[in-house]
Amino acid sequence: MLIPKGALVVSCQARADNPLHGPVHMAAMARAAEAGGARAIRANGPDDVAAIRAVTRLPIIGISKVWDDRYPVYITPDFENAAAVARAGADVIGIDATPRPRNGESVERLIARIRGELGREVFADIATLEEGRAAHAYGATYVATTLSGYTDETIERRAAGPDLDLLSALVGAVPVPVIAEGRFDTPDLVTAAFERGAHAVVVGTAITNPREITRKFAQAAEFWADNGTSAPPGGRAHLSQDGV
C-alpha cells in the first residue's frame, strides 16, 4: 500500500487558463506541499508527473485528463493514457471508475490492465456507493469519493460540501482503503473525514490554487471597493464554496 494511512494528499494541478499551469510550477507546488507535510501528491498528465517525480520521492497518484465533448469521462479514460503517466513516474494511477460513457476500455478491463500490465495500484474516483463496490470488485486498490457532486446522478451534493455520508457508507461497505476527496477546504473538514474512517484525504484548490483562494478573499473585500458602498448588506460578505 503506497498511500500511507492518515496521509494528507495534495492535488497539484492547474488548467491551461491558470497562470500556474505547467510542469515547472507544479513541481514547485509539490515541493512546497511536501515541505508542509503532504505525504502523497496527485498530478495530471505525463509532463507534470515527470517534473514532480524529479523533485520528490513521495507517492504520486497520476491521472491524465482527456477532454472530449462526446463523453463525460475525462479522468484517465483509457489504457494508453494510464500507461503514459505510469512511464512518467506515477506510482498509482487514478481513473474515473463511474459507469458513464467513455472513449476507452470498460472500468473493469481498465483496472485489470493497469494492475496486470503496468503493475500499478489503482485509485478509483467514484460518485456513489454502488460505484465504489463495483470498483472494489474489479480490483481497485483505493476507492475515493472524488466525483460525488460531479455526475448527473449526484449533482445536488455539490453545494453541500464534502460527501461525508458517502465516505462513511464506503468505509462500512468495502474492505479497501477509502479516500476522501472533493471540496475539502478547511482543516476541520479533513479531521471530520478521518473521524469517519478515511484512509487519507486529498485537498486541491484550497492549497494549490492561489487564484481561487484569492477570489474568496476578494469577495470579502468587494463591498468596500470604491463604489460608494460603506458596508455590505447584513454587515458581512459571504464567501463562496469553490471546493477542491
To the nearest 10°, report the CA torsion of 74, 204, 191, 172. Answer: 10
CATH topology of domain 7-235: TIM Barrel (3.20.20)
The single-letter code of the amino acid at 25 is H
Q: Do the beta carbons of residue 123 and residue 110 sit within 8 Å? A: no
pTM for the model stands at 0.91
- Nearest partner of 242 among 202, 211, 200, judged by Cα: 211
* pLDDT, tens only, 67-91: 999 999 999 999 999 999 999 999 9
Judge contact between 66 and 35, C-beta under 8 A. no
Task: Provide the β-strand partners of residue 29.
Answer: none
Q: What is the pLDDT along the chain (244 residues), one digit of tens a residue?
A: 899 999 999 999 999 999 999 999 999 999 999 999 999 999 999 999 999 999 999 999 999 999 999 999 999 999 999 999 999 999 999 999 999 999 999 999 999 999 999 999 999 999 999 999 999 999 999 999 999 999 999 999 999 999 999 999 999 999 999 999 999 999 999 999 999 999 999 999 999 999 999 999 999 999 888 765 555 555 444 333 333 3
CA–CA dist 165, 174 (Å, integer): 14
Residue matched to cell numbers 448588506: 233
The amino acid occupying position 143 is V
Q: Where are the domains of the chain?
A: 7-235
At 18 the pLDDT is 96
Look at residue 234 in the predicted model and tell me its pLDDT.
53
Encode pLDDT of 93-132 as tens digits. Answer: 999 999 999 999 999 999 999 999 999 999 999 999 999 9
Distance from first CA to last CA of the chain, Å, rounded? 24
